[in-house]
Chain A
Amino acid sequence: MNDRPDARNLLQTARNVFIAEILPALPASSRYTALMIANAMAIAQREIAAGDAPLAAECERLGTLLSEPAAAPAGEALRGVLAGYNRRLAGEIRAGRFDGKERAALLEHLRRTTGEKLAVSNPKMLK
């Protein structure tokens, strides 16, 4: 086991100090870059906090949508399966598989996946 605090706590603590102490002391010309750094740290923090749960949920939805329901694997295997599923989904959308009656199920999946992505990338945009 690693020593405490964990990555999430370290990132959060470093970001808070950066915003409270470093940002106000910077010249105006560096402010935009500093805000980008704070934003990048916040995204990384949220990605760590979310963990693999949204990816596993996406993977299970994709299995159902692509007519091969299965339990999502864990760890690196999950990322591999997810990438493969998404490539297939992209190809089948282009080929027109979801033009008709499966369209509603596709859109529901895409909305949820986009929501899960935004929860990490930019939660302010969540509708």
Chain B
Amino acid sequence: MNLNEPSTRQRLAEFVARAAGARSVAIVALERMSGGAVQENWALDVEVDGEARGWVLRTDAQATVRESVTRAQEFAVLKAVHAADVLAPEPLYLCEDPAVSGRTFFIMQRLPGVTAGHKITRDTALVPDPRRLAREVAANLARLHRIEPPHAGLGFLKTMLARDCIAHYRRYLDTLSHPYPVLEWGLRWCELNVPQREETTFIHRDYRTGNYLVHEGHLAGILDWEFSAFGNPLEDVAWICVRYWRFARPDLVVGGIAGVDDFVPEYERVSGRSVAPHDLNYWKVMGNLRWAIVALQQLERHLSGPEPLLEQALTGHVVGEIEQEILALTETETP
């Protein structure tokens, strides 16, 4: 989609003026940001009544993924998390009128900082104190888990507790012609070890290095809320500990920035919840299963899509690594 087409730009400026209650709005710059096969992010610089603002405009790309929420729902999620003092971009204006750009979009504050995992895990100038960053990431996660169902603004979110995850991932495997016995084993193990009781809170479901912004060594905000749901908060705690988000530092369990001891105690302190090693291990198995399913979905885009895709093809060859991890995590505990 080209938002820079002059008439689209004009309608966009008019929309912002109406939404902001401004007399004059001038679009200074509008540029597609990198990344985002599913959503498009555009850096939007505007002058609202002469005052400069830096925003992000977020809209659907051509491809839509079943898993994710709509842009209007994502806007509601950002409103809820912002109100709960979670570090995230402040949502500003939602536009559901297709006459403006052809698709639903919203505008949010543009936060400063870096998301690239290979930089955050390697560059000591960027992150002088990674353990402090890990504690900030933990405290922020604890704050977002304070949002609980039922929540007036978030009624559209699905609930994904352990049994829901198992059923969901099995349904996906059943759509494939190729069998994955290790993933079946992991799912069976999760079924046999399913928690007797589970808490249900709001969860992000992609809270990890690569999806948060670091600015001047501190956590600036969490991005990519499109997979959020209600579910077991331990799923988020374990997800950031899954191998694949460690980038340059595979030795640092928590997203390549710190060990578990610099993360879990701070999460426990702020959330008032205790995280038993046994439970963390359970959700690490589930996290690896989920990541394997995502990798297989990527592979299917290569195998069944309109054109061959090299990156997605290679993702199919990551499954063995994930399976090795699942076997290592499930062999020590007997159901």
Contacts and interface: CB of A to CB of B under 8 A. Distances in A.
A105 interface: no
A96 B185 CA distance: 9
B320 interface: yes
A101 to B, nearest CB: 12
Interface in A40-93: 40, 43, 83, 86-87, 89-91, 93
B182 interface: yes
Contacts, number: 77
A16 interface: no
Given A99-B188, A111-B327, A121 B317 contact: yes
A7 interface: no
A40 B327 contact: no
A83 B331 CA distance: 25
Contacts of B320: 114, 117-118, 121-122, 125
A125 B310 contact: no
A86 to B, nearest CB: 4
> Which among A36, A89, A110 has the highest number of chain B CB atoms within 10 Å?
A110
Contacts of A94: 170, 184, 187-188
Contacts of A36: 310-311, 314
B317 A122 contact: yes
A127 interface: yes
A37 B181 contact: no
Interface in B162-220: 170, 173, 178-182, 184-185, 187-188, 192
B188 A107 contact: no
B181 A40 contact: no
Interface in B308-335: 310-311, 313-314, 317-321, 323-324, 327-328, 331, 335
Given A43-B317, A125-B321, A86 B188 contact: no
Contacts of A106: 185
A114 B327 contact: yes
A83 B179 contact: yes
Contacts of B178: 83
A11 to B, nearest CB: 16
Given A83-B179, A90-B180, A114-B327, 5 more contacts: A33-B310, A89-B184, A90-B184, A118-B320, A121-B320
